[in-house]
């Protein structure tokens, strides 16, 4: 089940990505609507992170093409923000929390222009949104994993983009941080932002996202959550590993999908 969207903000056509000539994504074709909170879901090694990196032009593609706002990404890069996996970042870099968040403004400034008062205010406002304003002068290396994730999210917010790509923002955070992050992402969606999230927890996917991409090297499905998170499509994605799917299957059978406002 692959729903094609009219006037999409993201278009991916026949995308194939290979590492050492071995395909990790094969023939992916999808479109995404504006103002959606999108979950990219699939087993380990399914190509979830590869998909968003390829869309962001952070990886070379073997075939296919990608358009964002109906343009090549190099034309609209300032409208896009990326939050990488926390494990991929050098947290020993000597910078304060505030400096890291202020980096989110550099795309608008250019590297040789000094931040203005408006940029500093935007950085502090972003810190307030993630509950980290009290840590503004703290060294980033001194924070817990969940606090670091909030700071990275604040940096993305300071950029004030139209599309956000986030690679497992809930990994390794406590439940309070996860709850705060998802509420913030819902607010961003309600403001018309498009947020695309690589996510590994099937049980929370139905509650978190209003659009889901099911991926296992090939695209299995892309569409509204209540149409995509079916037992049949999940089994196709996970290869029938029912131990993974049992609780989700119970949810589906009872048709207890939480509403978007839940």
Q: 237 with 216: CB under 8 angstroms?
A: yes
* Residues 63-121: tens digit of each pLDDT: 999 999 999 998 998 899 988 887 666 667 778 899 889 888 876 666 567 778 888 88
Query: What integer pLDDT is reported at residue 89 of this predicted model?
Result: 66
Q: How far is CA 148 from CA 84, 134, 158, 177, 203, in A?
A: 12, 13, 15, 11, 25
Element (DSSP H or E) covering residue 154: helix 145-159
pLDDT at 80: 92
Whether residue 58 contacts residue 50, with contact meaning beta carbons closer than 8 Å, is answered with: no
Residue 218 has pLDDT above 90, yes or no: yes
- The structure tokens listed for 248 are 């989700």
Question: What ranges make up the beta strands (E) of 69-150?
Answer: 80-83
- Which pLDDT does position 250 carry in this prediction? 54
Backbone torsions φ then ψ of 152, nearest 5 degrees: -65, -35
**β pairing state of 63-68 and 37-41:** unpaired
Please state the rounded mean pLDDT for residues 137-154.
87
pLDDT class of 251 with cuts at 50, 70, 90: low
Q: Which residue has the higher pLDDT, 84 or 40?
A: 40
pLDDT of residue 52: 94
For CA atoms 252, 221, 87, 106, give the dihedral sign.
negative
Mean pLDDT for 10-39 is 92
pLDDT of residue 61: 92
Q: What ranges do the domains of the chain cover?
A: 1-69+164-173+201-262
Which residues are within 8 A (CB) of 134 and not within 5 positions of it... i.e. 6 or more apart? none
Mean pLDDT of 251-257: 50
Length of the chain: 262
Q: 156 vs 44, 55, 57, 223, CA distance in Å?
A: 26, 17, 18, 25
d(CA 157, CA 180): 14
pLDDT digits (tens, 9 = 90+) for 156-208: 888 889 999 999 988 878 888 888 889 999 999 999 999 999 998 888 899 99
Q: Give the C-alpha separation, 239 to 210, whole Å.
A: 24
Confidence class for position 219, pLDDT limits 50, 70, 90: very high
pLDDT surpasses 90 at 223: yes
Output the pLDDT for position 258.
45
Residue 162 is predicted with a pLDDT of 93
User: Does 21 or 166 have the greater pLDDT score?
Assistant: 166
pLDDT number for residue 94: 79
Domain 1-69+164-173+201-262, what architecture?
3-Layer(aba) Sandwich (3.40)
Dihedral Cα 215, 55, 15, 196, nearest 10 deg? 30
Cβ atoms within 10 Å, residue 98: 21
Give yes or no for a contact between 39 and 197, defined as CB atoms under 8 angstroms apart. yes
CA distance 253 to 23: 35
What is the β-pairing status of strands 218-224 and 211-216?
Answer: antiparallel
Nearest to 210 by CA among 79, 81, 61, 38: 38
- Of 227, 182, 176, nearest to 204 by C-alpha is 182
């Amino acid at each position: 089940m692959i729903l094609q969207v009219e006037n999409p903000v993201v278009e991916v056509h026949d995308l194939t990505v290979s590492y050492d000539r071995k395909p990790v994504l094969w023939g992916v074709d999808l479109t995404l609507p504006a103002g959606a909170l999108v979950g990219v879901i699939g087993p380990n090694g399914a190509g979830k992170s590869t998909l968003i990196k390829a869309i962001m032009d952070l990886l070379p593609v073997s075939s296919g093409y990608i358009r964002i706002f109906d343009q090549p990404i190099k034309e609209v890069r300032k409208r896009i923000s990326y939050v990488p996996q926390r494990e991929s970042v050098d947290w020993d870099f000597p910078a304060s929390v505030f400096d890291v968040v202020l980096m989110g403004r550099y795309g608008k400034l250019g590297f040789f222009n000094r931040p203005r008062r408006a940029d500093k205010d935007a950085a502090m406002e972003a810190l307030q949104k993630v509950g980290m304003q009290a840590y503004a002068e703290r060294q980033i290396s001194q924070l817990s994993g969940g606090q670091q994730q909030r700071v990275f999210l604040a940096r993305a917010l300071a950029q004030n983009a139209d599309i956000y790509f986030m690679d497992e923002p809930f990994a390794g955070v406590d439940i309070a941080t996860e709850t705060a992050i998802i509420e913030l992402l819902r607010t961003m969606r309600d403001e018309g932002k498009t947020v695309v999230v690589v996510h590994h927890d099937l049980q929370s996917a139905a509650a978190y996202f209003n659009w889901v991409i099911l991926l296992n090297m090939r695209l299995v499905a892309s569409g509204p959550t209540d149409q995509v998170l079916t037992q049949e499509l999940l089994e196709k994605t996970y290869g029938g590993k029912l131990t993974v799917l049992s609780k989700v299957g119970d949810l589906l059978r009872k048709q207890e999908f939480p509403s978007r406002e839940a």
